[in-house]
C-alpha cells in the first residue's frame, strides 16, 4: 500500500500527516504500507516515521549516482535519508515530463543498484485503451524495463498498473479491467524475465483509488495492493484503504 503525495505538503505539513497516520495505526496485518513525500519533506517525514511500521519511499530518482544534473536527486541521496522504495516511471513522469521507456529502465536499475525497491509504473492512455492496445502497451513497457534483468533482481521489484486515463480524473478502472491488466502484466513478466516470475512480483493498482472503490479492487486475486494518490493525503481515508487491503488478504 503506497501513498504518493505528489507535489503536495511542505515538510511541516508532511510531518503532521505522518503523525496522523501513526496515531491512527495506518498499518494492518498482512500489508506493507509506505508513503512517498516530495523531496524536501523526505528527511523530516522519515524522522517522524522512525521506529514505526510505515516505510519511507521517494517519487523519483536520477539514473546516475552523482554528477552535473541540476535539480535531480540520486539513489544514494534517497537511501541516506531512510528511503526504502522509489517510484519509477510514474505516468506523470512519462507523459508530462517525457520520460521514455529507456530512461525508466535505467532508473529501475539505478534503484536496484542502491538497495531501493523500485515500484515500476506502467499503463496505457485512453486513446490506447480505446484502440484495444492495452495489452501490447503493457507488454512493451514491461519488456523495456525488465529485459535482461536477473531473476533475483526481478523479484526485488514491484509493479504498479496505472491506467493513465484514471490518474487524478476521478475515473477508476472496474475491478475486471484492473484484473485483466494485471494478468497481462504477469504474462509479460513471464515472457520477458522467465517462467514463474509473473506470480512472484506484487502488482499494485493505481488510478483514483479511494475508500469507496478499494474493496472491490482488492477482491480480485491479481490485485496485490494500491498506489494511492490524492486519497493518501487524508489519514482517515488512507487508513480505510489499508484496512480494505488487510481484509482482502485475510479473506
Instruction: Return d(Cα 216, Cα 223) in angstroms, integer.
Output: 10
Encode pLDDT of 34-62 as tens digits.
999 999 999 999 999 999 999 999 999 99
Model-level pTM? 0.96
Q: CB–CB of 81/95 below 8 Å? A: no
Instruction: Return d(Cα 225, Cα 214) in angstroms, integer.
Output: 9
115 pLDDT tier (thresholds 50, 70, 90): very high
**DSSP state letters, 11-79:** HHHHHHHHHHHHHTT---TT---EEE--GGGHHHHHHHHTTSSPEEEES---SSSSSS-TT---HHHHH
Q: Which residue has the cell 485512453?
A: 126
Question: For the chain, what is the domain count?
Answer: 1
Q: CB–CB of 20/54 below 8 Å? A: no
246 pLDDT tier (thresholds 50, 70, 90): confident
The domain in which residue 123 lies consists of 2-63+72-250
Q: At what angle do helices 134-146 and 175-193 cross, to 10 degrees?
A: 40
Task: Collect contacts of 127-134 with beta carbons under 8 A, ≥24 apart.
Answer: 129/163, 129/165, 134/181, 134/184
Three cell numbers, residue 193: 524475465
Residue 15 sits in a domain whose CATH number is 3.20.20.70
Residues with catalytic function: 90, 162
Q: Which residue has the cell 480505510?
A: 240
Residue 179, pLDDT above cutoff 80: yes
Position 171 scores a pLDDT of 76
250 pLDDT tier (thresholds 50, 70, 90): low
Amino acid at each position: 500500500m503506497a501513498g504518493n503525495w505528489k507535489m503536495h505538503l511542505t515538510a511541516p505539513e508532511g510531518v503532521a500527516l505522518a503523525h496522523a497516520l501513526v496515531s491512527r495505526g495506518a498499518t494492518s496485518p498482512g500489508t506493507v504500507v509506505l508513503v512517498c513525500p516530495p523531496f524536501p519533506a523526505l528527511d523530516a517525514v522519515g524522522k517522524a516515521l522512525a521506529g514505526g511500521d510505515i516505510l519511507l519511499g521517494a517519487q523519483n530518482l536520477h539514473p546516475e549516482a552523482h554528477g552535473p544534473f541540476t535539480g535531480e536527486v540520486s539513489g544514494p541521496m534517497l537511501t541516506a535519508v531512510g528511503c526504502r522504495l522509489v517510484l519509477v516511471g510514474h505516468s506523470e513522469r512519462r507523459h508530462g515530463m517525457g520520460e521514455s521507456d529507456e530512461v525508466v529502465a535505467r532508473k529501475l536499475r539505478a534503484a536496484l543498484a542502491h538497495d531501493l525497491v523500485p515500484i515500476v509504473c506502467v499503463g496505457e492512455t485512453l486513446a490506447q485503451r480505446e484502440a484495444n492496445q492495452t495489452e501490447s502497451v503493457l507488454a512493451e513497457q514491461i519488456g523495456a524495463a525488465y529485459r535482461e534483468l536477473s531473476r533475483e533482481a526481478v523479484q526485488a521489484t514491484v509493479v504498479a498498473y496505472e491506467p493513465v486515463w484514471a490518474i487524478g480524473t476521478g475515473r477508476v478502472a472496474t475491478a475486471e479491467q484492473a484484473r485483466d491488466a494485471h494478468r497481462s502484466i504477469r504474462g509479460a513478466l513471464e515472457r520477458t524475465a522467465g517462467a514463474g516470475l509473473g506470480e512472484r512480483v506484487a502488482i499494485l493498482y493505481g488510478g483514483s483509488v479511494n475508500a469507496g472503490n478499494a474493496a472491490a479492487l482488492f477482491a480480485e486475486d491479481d490485485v496485490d495492493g494500491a498506489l494511492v494518490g490524492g486519497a493518501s493525503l487524508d489519514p482517515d481515508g488512507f487508513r480505510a484503504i489499508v484496512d480494505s487491503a488487510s481484509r482482502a488478504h485475510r479473506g
